[in-house]
Amino acid sequence: MKKFIMSVTLAGALLAVPSISEASLNIGDRGDDVRQLQSALNDNGKNIAVDGVFGPQTLGAVKAHQLANSISSPAGNFYGTAGPATLGSLGLSNSSSGSSTATQTATTVSNSSSSGIISTAKSLVGSSYVWGGTSPSGFDCSGFIQYAFAQNGQSIPRTVSQMWSAGTSVSSPRTGDIVFFETRTGPSHAGIYLGNNQFIHSGSSTGVTISNMSNPYWSKAYMGAKRL
């Protein structure tokens, strides 16, 4: 009888754990998932607005929590990203249930990852272009892409030519794929596809910006899309 009561109590506790729908949350994200994150951070000693907007205040609270709990540090790829380890330490869980097939699971992870990459990339619009730059203080085109992927747990090659060689060609890009352009000989510029014929990239004259692939310059230089 005692064992039965204990099992019921444990099951109730597990069901009571709040869940969120995304694999990770990043600056620029909005919605109920962010509100749950903000509430959990406040329950752990922070004092931030619960407004559903992952802005600088929430970013600072996430970083402070990660440092205090040895989850990540300024040298880590996931510093400031509320991924599974951070969410778990706050008593939050991922609401995605196990899929019946490995393909379905991979698709779910891929979609969540792409969403995070796009959120990270869009949050960096306006960052300056710096040759060889790999941080928000300044990016070159490949440094920008590598940073957006790294912030969401994906390690990809550093240069455009290496990305081109490592990727799998796709006939029609989907959100999160990398689109390549021949601005010099061979693949020499790249960006992240956003959908609706738009891509985000760090241009030498614009910094991080969103451009349309139908623009005559980009349509003429377009080489193809690849998935990493």
Q: Which residues are catalytic?
A: 141, 189, 201
Distance CA 161, CA 186 (A): 8
Distance CA 183, CA 190 (A): 10
The H or E element spanning position 179 is strand 178-181
Distance CA 138, CA 209 (A): 13
What burial class does residue 85 get, using C-beta atoms within 10 Å of its C-beta: 0-12 exposed, 13-18 middle, 19+ buried? middle
Q: What's the angle, vertex CA 126, arms to CA 123 and CA 131, rounded to 5? A: 110
Distance CA 22, CA 96 (A): 8
Tallying the residues shown for the chain, one arrives at 228
Distance CA 152, CA 116 (A): 6
Structure tokens at 52: 């559903």
